[in-house]
Structure 1
Amino acid sequence: MASSREAGVAYPRLPLTEGSDDLVAFQQWLGEAIPMVGALGIMQMDRQGDTLTWQLSLKPSLNDKGTGFGGALTAQATLLGWCWVTLWLRAQGRAQDVVVAESSHRFHAPVTADYRMVCSPHDSQGPVMLADKLQQRGRGRITLDQKLYCGNTLCLEATGSYVVLPEA
């Protein structure tokens, strides 16, 4: 699908829904809002409690060695965290912008087959602390961990700090 997106023009937000978000609709919107998402190989999203999991195909992220390209994998980890915060905000009935403030990545093993990425708060109290900051100041920050598994092998660990901006 060719993107009609233009630099400097924000994409319309996905309208808030009552109750639980439809992850299929969210993934479709995500692919329209961020054109590179279509090339990331996301096959499925699942949300259980404070954990967001993606199942991904390796094929779109292959490097010259036939394993996962580090740049693609780190982009996926960063985006997974952004999605975690965006979906969490939506569950709170909030439509605020999210940006990544900083991130770090550590590779442990090559990615040699389709894989899964798991994202959860670095601190189990992170969501509560974020909710408090949003209530008090209208903005806040949360640190999330992303882990990439190829089978049972941990291949990548990432940590990202995500900022929720004040409502416009």
Structure 2
Amino acid sequence: MEKHEFEQFLYDHIPITEKMGFTIVEFTKNKVKVAAKLEPNINHKHTAFGGSINSLMTVCGWAMVFINIKEVDPEAHIVIRKSNIEYLAPIDCDFIAECELLEEKDRNKFFEMYRKHKKGRLSLKVTCSNVSKLLAEYEGQYVAFK
């Protein structure tokens, strides 16, 4: 699935992502980047709403699981099991979430667990930044299941 197809998939299946102005910048099995505009996510302090930041980072990790598990099982379901976020600075401009899965051993362990138990867990780190500054850090554990 190409990034524009995945973006439309998100809009169709998680409609709030379109309202929040999320766009897919990069969508590969090693790296996912999802961008957001400040305007639809602004709070009363004229900065990004914490829930929007969390949503962007959750979706970014979810997208990483999606692109990887769909090669093993196109019908797999994906949910977030737990997450933790640290807000490092107020966000007063457009922002982007990025998730990398570079370790083949992590991917292979996830696939092995999925094949063996029909369920696999994958822990991911996601960063949120603007052009020059790290704004938030997120860790999420996702579960894919039949």
In structure 1, the partner of 2:43 is 63
The farther-off stretch of 42-51 and 53-62 is 42-51
CA contact (8 A) 2:36 2:56 kept: no
Instruction: Report the TM-score, using the length of structure 2 for normalisation.
Output: 0.91
Q: Give the Å deviation of 1:93.
A: 4.6
Q: Give the Å deviation of 1:90.
A: 1.8
Alignment of 1:127 onto 2:104 = no
CA contact (8 A) 1:55 1:117 kept: yes
Larger radius of gyration: 1
What is the rounded CA distance, in whole Å, between the counterparts of 1:86 and 1:153 in structure 2? 27
Instruction: Report the TM-score, using the length of structure 1 for normalisation.
Output: 0.80
Alignment of 1:149 onto 2:129 = yes
2:136 alignment partner, SS class:
strand
Q: Give the Å deviation of 1:33.
A: 0.9
- Write out per-residue CA displacement over residues 76-126 of structure 1, whole angstroms, 9 at most, x where no aligned residue: 1112111111111123353200110000000111111112110124x8332
Selected match of 1:158 from 117, 132, 138: 138
What is the rounded CA distance, in whole Å, between the counterparts of 2:32 and 2:125 in structure 1? 11
Alignment of 1:35 onto 2:33 = no
The residue correspondences of 1:21-100 to structure 2 (distance < 5 A) are 21-100=1-80
1:66 alignment partner, SS class:
coil
CA contact (8 A) 1:44 1:56 kept: no
CA contact (8 A) 1:86 1:98 kept: yes
Residue type of the alignment partner of 1:134: Y
Q: Give the Å deviation of 1:127.
A: 1.0
Q: Give the Å deviation of 1:47.
A: 2.5
- Write out per-residue CA displacement over residues 22-50 of structure 1, whole angstroms, 9 at most, x where no aligned residue: 22112112111112111222233312451
The 1:35–1:49 alpha-carbon spacing in structure 2 relative to 1, beyond 3 Å, is closer
What is the rounded CA distance, in whole Å, between the counterparts of 1:101 and 1:86 in structure 2? 15
RMSD: 1.6
Alignment of 1:138 onto 2:118 = yes
Judging by fraction of residues, say which structure has more helix: 2
Q: Structure 2: where are the runs of 5+ without partners? A: none
What is the rounded CA distance, in whole Å, between the counterparts of 1:25 and 1:35 in structure 2? 14
1:91 alignment partner, SS class:
coil
In structure 2, the partner of 1:112 is 92
What is the rounded CA distance, in whole Å, between the counterparts of 2:7 and 2:131 in structure 1? 24
What is the rounded CA distance, in whole Å, between the counterparts of 1:154 and 1:27 in structure 2? 24
How high is the sequence identity, in percent, across the aligned residues? 22
Count of residues paired in the alignment? 145
Higher RCO (CA < 8 A, seq sep 6+): 2
